[in-house]
Structure 1
């Protein structure tokens, strides 16, 4: 799965809000065994119920927020790639912070630790700057997309 598709699915699946009253209306849909397994596996991966995932995707499409693959514009892919890139950058920053925390947790600093900590600080600063640039680029892409 492409990063853009992954980011779009996560964005859409998480957007469906809870309602004050229970949803009672049903639409029955039939899937093959393989299709059902794929839906449930994807739902589990996003920590969602299968019905929630399917409902969110259908409602996003009906609200014109999720284009079918043939209807997607290059800007849609670009925005979703930015979202995926931001997630990966955040993971790098988290790893650098964990390294720094581990080195700082031990009261006895080793001479090599100072160099590693300095590099971790530099990496975190670079990640923060890159995340800000990615956020700005995604905002520009989304603004141009809405205007189009």
Structure 2
């Protein structure tokens, strides 16, 4: 699965809000065994119920927030690639913070700890700048998409 597709699915699947009243209406859909297994596997991967995943995707499409594959534009892909990139950058920043925390926690210092800590600080600063740039670019792309 492409990073853009992964980001779009994650964004849509977790956006579906709970309602004050229980959802009682049903729509029956038939899937092949393979299709059902694929839906349930994807739902498990996102820690969702299969019905929640399917409902979220359908409602997102109806609200214009998720295009069918043949309706996606290059801007949709770009926005979702930015979202995936941001997740990866955040993980790098988390790892750098864990390194810095470990080195700042005290204990017996090794001769290279000061150098590693300095590099970790530089990495965290670079990741913050990059995340800001990615957020800005994604916002511009989304704004241009809405204006088009």
Q: Which residue is 1:128 aligned to?
A: 128
Report the TM-score when normalising by structure 2: 0.97
Q: Which residue is 1:96 aligned to?
A: 96
Report the TM-score when normalising by structure 1: 0.97
Q: Which residue is 1:46 aligned to?
A: 46
Q: Which residue is 2:74 aligned to?
A: 74
Q: Which residue is 1:145 aligned to?
A: 145
Counterparts in 2 of 1:8-87, with a 5 A limit? 8-87=8-87
- Compute the displacement of 1:106 (Å): 3.3
- Compute the displacement of 1:102 (Å): 1.5
- Compute the displacement of 1:107 (Å): 2.4
List alignment gaps of at least 5 residues for structure 2. none
Give a deviation string over 1:63-99, Cα, whole Å, max 9, x none.
1211110011100000000000000000000011111
Distance in 2 of aligned mates of 1:132 and 1:62: 31
Aligned Cα root-mean-square deviation (Å): 0.8
List alignment gaps of at least 5 residues for structure 1. none
Distance in 1 of aligned mates of 2:38 and 2:99: 36
Distance in 2 of aligned mates of 1:51 and 1:103: 46
**Secondary structure, counterpart of 1:31 in structure 2:** coil
**Secondary structure, counterpart of 2:21 in structure 1:** coil
Give a deviation string over 1:33-75, Cα, whole Å, max 9, x none.
1111111111111111110000000011111211110011100
Distance in 1 of aligned mates of 2:102 and 2:146: 44
Distance in 2 of aligned mates of 1:78 and 1:15: 20
- Compute the displacement of 1:108 (Å): 2.3
**Secondary structure, counterpart of 1:78 in structure 2:** helix
